[in-house]
Chains A and B, each alone.
Chain A
Amino acid sequence: MFDDFERRVSAALRAPVADDARARERIMQRVRRAAGEGQRPVRRGQSWQRLSRYSIIGLGLAAGLSGVSSLSALAPSASRDGGSGASVAILGDTVAATLHDTLRLVRLMFDAPSARRVAVVGDFNDWGARPTPLTRDGDRQWSVTLALHAGEHRYAFVVDETRWVPDPRDERRVRGADEHVYLLLNVARAAN
Chain B
Amino acid sequence: MSDRAIIHLVLSGDVEAYSRLVDRHYDRCARIAVRILGNREDAEEAIQDAFLRAFKALGDYEDRERFSAWLTRILVNQCRTVLARSKRRDSLFIDMDPADVHFAAAQDEGDGHWPELEHVLARLPAEQREAIVLKYADDLTYEEMSKITGAGESALKMRVQRAFARLRAMLSEVPSV
Contact = CB atoms under 8 A, between A and B. Distances in A.
A146 interface: yes
B112 A11 contact: yes
B103 interface: no
A6 B112 CA distance: 12
Nearest to A96: B16
Interface string A117-141: 0010000110000111101000000
Contact of A24 (B14, B19, B114, B175): B19
Interface in B27-59: 27, 30-31, 34-35, 40, 43-44, 47-48, 51-52, 55-59
Interface string A50-72: 00000000000000000000000
Contacts, number: 145
B31 A27 contact: no
B13 A132 contact: yes
A67 to B, nearest CB: 18
Nearest to A133: B12
Given A17-B34, A44-B60, A8 B14 contact: no
B160 to A, nearest CB: 10
Contacts of A78: none
B143 interface: no
A5 B55 contact: no
B23 interface: yes
Q: Is the interface of B mostly helix, strand, loop or mixed?
A: helix
Interface in B44-85: 44, 47-48, 51-52, 55-60
B114 A12 contact: yes
B117 A135 contact: no
B35 A13 contact: yes
A10 interface: yes
B30 to A, nearest CB: 5
Interface stretch (B88-96, B129-137, B146-154): B129-137
A191 interface: no
A12 B112 contact: yes
Given A5-B164, A16-B31, A20-B40, 6 more contacts: A9-B136, A14-B139, A15-B31, A20-B44, A28-B18, A144-B14
10 contacts: A6-B164, A9-B117, A16-B31, A17-B31, A23-B26, A31-B18, A31-B55, A41-B56, A41-B57, A130-B12
